[in-house]
């Protein structure tokens, strides 16, 4: 997710954490923001914009889909816009009797 200058050497975690702290300070953020927060937000935004969860799994480098599920909190709007399979049924309600 955070590649270095070449493919064989990703960014060193300390450099990444320092860059995150600097960006938060420059933005004047009062809330605590970590690299983990950015990773989680990245996954959530991808999911909300229609990315397949398996693609997100690969981007995050997870071996298990269950690990990816922990990063992808789905917004209420996304959940409410998901149609139920029952909504596609054409049912006729017949009164008893």
Establish if 62 belongs to a structural domain: yes
Q: Which phi and psi (to 5°) does residue 6 adopt?
A: -130, 160
| pLDDT for residue 26 | 92
Establish if 77 belongs to a structural domain: no
Task: Give the range of the structural domain holding residue 60, as residue numbers without chain letter.
Answer: 1-72
| pLDDT for residue 75 | 62
Establish if 86 belongs to a structural domain: no
Establish if 44 belongs to a structural domain: yes
Establish if 81 belongs to a structural domain: no
Establish if 28 belongs to a structural domain: yes
Number of domains in the chain: 1
Q: Which residues of the chain have pLDDT under 50?
A: none
Establish if 82 belongs to a structural domain: no
Residue 61 — left, alpha, or beta (φ > 0 → left; ψ -120 to 50 → alpha)?
left
Establish if 11 belongs to a structural domain: yes
Give the position of tokens 């017949």.
94
| pLDDT for residue 58 | 92
**Other beta carbons less than 10 A from residue 75's beta carbon:** 12
What are the structure tokens assigned to 68, written together? 């990816």
For residues 34-49, one letter each, b for 16 or more C-beta atoms within 10 angstroms of the residue's C-beta and e for the rest, the string is ebeeeebebbbebbee
């Amino acid at each position: 997710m955070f590649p270095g200058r070449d493919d064989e050497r990703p960014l060193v975690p300390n450099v990444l954490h320092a860059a995150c702290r600097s960006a938060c300070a420059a933005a004047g953020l009062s809330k605590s923001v970590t690299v983990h927060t950015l990773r989680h937000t990245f996954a959530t935004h991808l999911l909300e914009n229609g990315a397949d969860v398996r693609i997100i799994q690969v981007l995050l480098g997870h071996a298990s889909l269950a690990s990816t599920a922990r990063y992808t909190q789905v917004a209420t709007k996304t959940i409410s816009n998901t149609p139920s399979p029952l909504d596609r049924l054409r049912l006729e309600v017949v009164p008893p009797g």
